[in-house]
Structure 1
Amino acid sequence: MRHPPRSVLLAVAGAVGLVGSMTIPVVTAQGAGPACSVEYSVTGQWDNGFQAAVKVTNNTAAMSSWSLSFDFGGGQKITQGWNAKWSQSGTAVTAANESYNGSLATGASVSAGFLASWPGSGSDAAPASFKLNGTTCNVDSEPPPTDPPPTDPPASTTAPPLHVLGSKLVDAGGATRRLLGVNRSGGEFMCVQGRGIFDGPVDDAAIQAIADWKANTVRIPLNEECWLGLSNIQSQYGGANYIGAVKDLVARVEAHGMTPIVELHWTYGQYTGNSAGCSDVHATCQKPMPDAQYTPSFWSSVANTFKADQAVVFDLFNEPYPDRATSSTTDAWKCWKDGGTCPGIGYEVAGMQDMVDAVRGTGARNVLMAGGLAYSNDLSQWLTYRPSDPTGNLVAAYHVYNFNTCSNESCWNSTLAPVAAQVPLVAGEIGENTCSHSFVDQVMKWFDDRGLSYLGWTWNTWDCSSGPSLISGYDGTPTSYGIGLRDHLRALNG
């Protein structure tokens, strides 16, 4: 999906930037040094909302995990957080470590942040006290609690390993598995914008909410610069921290019996031609094709990370559109397959064959998805130009929204049906911008009738007309658009 305009995604952050930064000082008691200290800062305010940050310093023995707790007194409600697993019950707030920042050595600090709202009669007053693993901070030392804070139970892989058999995806026993579920956007943009790793919670409760819709698949968009930890990415959101967070999310998805699809969404390379999403050389928007400089390294690293787990599916590139860069359909499909120097694209391109080769060069046999032209909406010559896969585990990927060109049964019958007769076909994104579900109902029926796969865009709490978004809350509360997918999945798999 071409995301909502950057102005929509960053509307709240933009409001914060207009106000500026305000720090609320925290007073430390006199006497013996505190066991822990917490700095709480309100970094921006707007009508009935604010952004805040906490910096926690551990002054006692090293910790392998941490949990910060405090109470709000002004009716504040956290709406989004980063760098910690944020939760709230009434006035009580808890921020537990992520997998990548659980270790807290003596004297070490960790920072996290959140967005919150408050009622018109409330305020954004600072919490009166904080506790780290049960020990009160900013006062004289107390003995640490006997028991460590609770953490998510260890994940156990219950999603089945998959491979291609003819035109079907099957598990190890040969049973057909249709991939039916949702996209979980965030990993492609939060990190490169310096705002976190995921947009909203991805803890066990959040993944359980997806499973409660009877989904069996979650597609996870990624950013190549964040995965590779390039110099323009803040270290807390890139490299090992980013990879660790993605691995944790994949494990949670699998623990709920759902297939994880890891997908390359935003990539390096400057493109300013027709339909350019941005003029930035960095991975801050959808580019017409991935770049040869970093993309093969990205896929080699991802494949090495997950090759022992064939339950993980790899979606090679979100929405190619080299056809917008050149008027020649033949040139566009050649660029799609072989990459190199492509008409209208100013950087060297990694083609689908380059990405297949990068994955297979690691020994990984995971199922691969390859979307066609026109933002994965055109599969008319997919069979002619499909890359060679020595393992035979290649799937055709397709995206369809009500505003696409190929968005009716006539086009599906003429262009999709021949592909689906030869290889598995997965609609990695389906959706509509009407805040209703009449269009996706048609899509699901056509795919159901042929035993094919589809995933709704997207499990994020954006406005359903600009997203479009399936949910209004991460507990799984559907939008009027999301109701269609939720009820349909429950009817199929309930």
Structure 2
Amino acid sequence: MAVAGTIGLVVAAPAAPAAAAPGCKVDYTVPSQWSGGFTANVAVTNLGDRVDGWRLTWTWPSGQQVTQAWNATVTADGSQVTAANAGYNAVIAPNATVSFGLNGSWSGTNTAPASFALNGVTCTGAPGTSTTTTTTTTTSGPPPGDAMAQVAAMQPGWNLGNSLDATGADETSWGNPRITEALLDNVKAQGFKSIRIPVTWGQHQAAAPGYTIEAAYLARVKEVVGWALADGFHVMINIHHDSWQWINTMPADRTNVLNRYNAIWTQLAAAFKDSPAKLVFESVNEPQFTGSSGDAQNAQLLHELNASFRDIVRRSGGGNASRLLVLPTLHTSSDQARLDELASSLTTFDDPNIAATVHYYGYWPFSVNVAGGTHFDATAQKDLTDSFDRVHNTFIARGIPVILGEYGLLGFDRHTGTVQQGEKLKFFELFGHYARTKKITTMLWDNGQHFGRTSFQWSDPELIAQIKSSWTTRSGTASTDQVFSAKASAISAKTITLNLNGTTFSGLRQGSTELTRGTDYTVSGDQLTLSAALLTRLSGSRAYGTNATITAHFSQGVPWRINLITYDVPVLQNATGTTAAFSIPTSFRGDLLATMEAKYDDGSNAGPHNWTSYKEFDRTFAPNYTAGTTTLTADFFAEVNDNRRVTLTFHYWSGAKLTYFVTKSGSAVTGSTS
């Protein structure tokens, strides 16, 4: 469900030094709504003279409440709401737009506000008489040629993944619908300032010597780029999956690869040379080379590609003479050796309008949930901070801007539940904060698994709320978002550790009800203890599963949700099946599966990734809580030896552990609890 409206607004003038002519509009949209909650975006466009300092007020018509906000300070007195500017967006220039967002709660209906007032003046819809004449409705960009300022203005960014980069016949071949103007409009409404449009060209390119790009395909790319520019985005296009389709053969086929690569950029430079400066070119995505002699040759080949790209674009004239160009490291890696190789190239180029790019998908065991990487622990955190420190010190500290062109977790390629929810949120909280601290512009990788291409809804509202919050502030988290109480035992008090992250703890709530400190819970330093009385009251009849949710609130950022869960130790049953279809009947009894170990009787590791006993979540095993099964996949059995018993140890989030035994004989599989 979406709610949208455009409301004309009169802007009250600041008291001094001179009166400002009033006039503006407000665009209020609800791009995401779920049971009991919603996300709203508010954009205020100034149609009069400059406004210095603003307060936007409105009345909720349906009793809604604001639970969190970004890019503005939002306070409420009953149904009356005030949003005040942040320090960095206090000025609204003529014909400029300032935006902020919020998360809220609702019950019954979620009717949009009927009117707004800015600095005390009610909306009229009439523009003011401005002393400044302007014909643009977008904010002014950074000074021409200021690469650092342009990259800063691109924060935050979003990837239009698995569409124009698909390697099939057209942009729908990887399962996404055709790109629409409405999609880009809705992405813009989410607060993103830039959009990366990956493009794979090879299957739309004629043979040598011309390597001509299909006219219809180039026209389609230009159409989508045009829509994005019209929306006010900074837009980045590139050569994408060609990197592993044919560019990677450059060690053995240097001349042909370079000719083909040069032909693409010659055509793109000509096609886009008159585009505005907000269009950015990225030389190649995740460059890689097969069969090279090693690091030195890899570095030389990438330098040659980047140098040729730069020369072609700069010589093509028009806006390309000073257009921002983005150059990757090998594999877009943030390893120091790869950063140093690109830094050496940039020194050679001596071009002020260049940015570096890397990607970040987290510490690999955590990112895919393998090798026991179930938690965003100190090792995973250090991997993130070390990576960003290296990028900052190598480039940004020397005046070279950095675009983190893709980020996420690799487990998202299967689904966003591969990594446990609370651990996932802690990753994105630190990611956004630390990238902001290091002045790195970030672009969320989204191949359709996050923002619905036709529904325009977020698949995980908690995730995007955490990401959006991290753009401007920190949020408090905790050691866990799950509190387990065994049904077989009497309920006792439970303690979790708060990660304050520079915030202060302000209270605990169930919905909109404030829980009582000292009775329902106590806080000692960073230790939050939930009383047995509170857990008893909220657990009700103690049905298996989540009985209630409460939220810890902090002085800033998003609240931290805590699930109160009743469980008993799961029960497994004997089973037979095949390597293509084998499932263990499982009564989960409210518990949740964290990971699985696999070992042979001699203690050696069994199955894929045999350097660790802990197997990869989803790839080798997966719980199905609805069906009551735990599946072992064909990928798992493909690397299990015939007629050797495998001992499986299932680890559950409650702390429970269960042992199970499987034996493969050809394609037949038997499983037992003993």
TM-score w.r.t. length of structure 1: 0.52
Match of 1:110 in 2: none
From the CA coordinates, give the structure whose radius of gyration is larger. Answer: 2
CA contact (8 A) 1:398 1:426 kept: yes
> 1:168-317 alignment to 2 at 5 Å?
168-170=148-150, 176-190=152-166, 192-194=168-170, 196=172, 199-226=176-203, 228=205, 239-267=214-242, 291-308=257-274, 309-317=276-284
User: Is it true that 1:354 corresponds to 2:333 in the alignment?
Assistant: no
CA contact (8 A) 1:320 1:376 kept: no
- Specify the code of the residue in structure 2 equivalent to 1:170: Q
The Cα shift of 1:214 comes to 0.4
Match of 1:380 in 2: 339
The Cα shift of 1:191 comes to 6.0
SS across alignment from 1:205: helix
After superposition, the C-alpha distances for 1:407-464 in whole angstroms (9 at most, x for unaligned) are 4212322344321112001100011034244333322211111332000001x33xxx
CA distance in 2 between partners of 1:247 and 1:455 (Å) = 21
> 1:49-448 alignment to 2 at 5 Å?
158=138, 168-170=148-150, 176-190=152-166, 192-194=168-170, 196=172, 199-226=176-203, 228=205, 239-267=214-242, 291-308=257-274, 309-322=276-289, 325-326=291-292, 328-338=294-304, 351-363=305-317, 364=320, 365-378=322-335, 379-381=338-340, 382-386=342-346, 388-389=348-349, 391-403=351-363, 407-422=383-398, 423-434=400-411, 435=416, 436-448=424-436
After superposition, the C-alpha distances for 1:158-199 in whole angstroms (9 at most, x for unaligned) are 58666776771339xxxx514312100234444643565893
After superposition, the C-alpha distances for 1:137-175 in whole angstroms (9 at most, x for unaligned) are xxxxxxxxxxxxxxxxxxx9958666776771339xxxx
The Cα shift of 1:222 comes to 1.0
CA distance in 2 between partners of 1:289 and 1:402 (Å) = 36
Q: 1:222 to 1:334 in 2, by over 3 A?
A: same
The Cα shift of 1:361 comes to 1.8
- Specify the code of the residue in structure 2 equivalent to 1:477: Q
Unaligned runs of 5+ in 1: 1-155, 282-286, 339-350, 462-468
Q: 1:270 to 1:411 in 2, by over 3 A?
A: closer
- Specify the code of the residue in structure 1 equivalent to 2:406: E
After superposition, the C-alpha distances for 1:306-336 in whole angstroms (9 at most, x for unaligned) are 22221100011000123x6446323221221
Q: 1:212 to 1:398 in 2, by over 3 A?
A: same
* Candidates 423, 437, 441, aligned match of 1:449: 437
After superposition, the C-alpha distances for 1:4-33 in whole angstroms (9 at most, x for unaligned) are xxxxxxxxxxxxxxxxxxxxxxxxxxxxxx
The Cα shift of 1:376 comes to 3.8
SS across alignment from 1:330: helix
**Deviation larger for 290-299 or 302-311:** 290-299
**Deviation larger for 186-195 or 375-384:** 186-195
Alignment length, in residue pairs?
A: 298
Q: 1:376 to 1:444 in 2, by over 3 A?
A: same
Q: Percent identity?
A: 16
CA contact (8 A) 2:326 2:356 kept: yes
CA contact (8 A) 1:197 1:245 kept: no
SS across alignment from 1:170: helix
- Specify the code of the residue in structure 2 equivalent to 1:393: N
- Specify the code of the residue in structure 2 equivalent to 1:312: L
SS across alignment from 1:222: coil
SS across alignment from 1:253: helix
Match of 1:51 in 2: none
CA distance in 2 between partners of 1:195 and 1:258 (Å) = 21
Match of 2:101 in 1: none
SS across alignment from 1:408: helix
CA contact (8 A) 1:187 1:223 kept: no
**Superposition CA RMSD, Å:** 3.9
After superposition, the C-alpha distances for 1:35-83 in whole angstroms (9 at most, x for unaligned) are xxxxxxxxxxxxxxxxxxxxxxxxxxxxxxxxxxxxxxxxxxxxxxxxx
Unaligned runs of 5+ in 2: 1-135, 366-381, 417-423, 474-674
CA distance in 1 between partners of 2:286 and 2:224 (Å) = 23
* Candidates 455, 467, 470, aligned match of 1:475: 455
The Cα shift of 1:370 comes to 0.7
The Cα shift of 1:221 comes to 0.8
Higher relative strand content: 2
CA contact (8 A) 1:337 1:386 kept: no
Q: 1:167 to 1:181 in 2, by over 3 A?
A: closer
CA contact (8 A) 1:164 1:393 kept: no
The Cα shift of 1:206 comes to 0.9
Match of 1:93 in 2: none
Q: 1:270 to 1:253 in 2, by over 3 A?
A: closer
CA distance in 2 between partners of 1:219 and 1:296 (Å) = 21
The Cα shift of 1:252 comes to 1.2
CA distance in 2 between partners of 1:184 and 1:407 (Å) = 27
Q: 1:258 to 1:358 in 2, by over 3 A?
A: same
SS across alignment from 1:214: coil
TM-score w.r.t. length of structure 2: 0.39
- Specify the code of the residue in structure 2 equivalent to 1:354: S
Q: 1:442 to 1:407 in 2, by over 3 A?
A: same
The Cα shift of 1:388 comes to 4.5
CA distance in 2 between partners of 1:304 and 1:337 (Å) = 23
The higher relative CO (CA closer than 8 Å, separation ≥ 6) is in 1
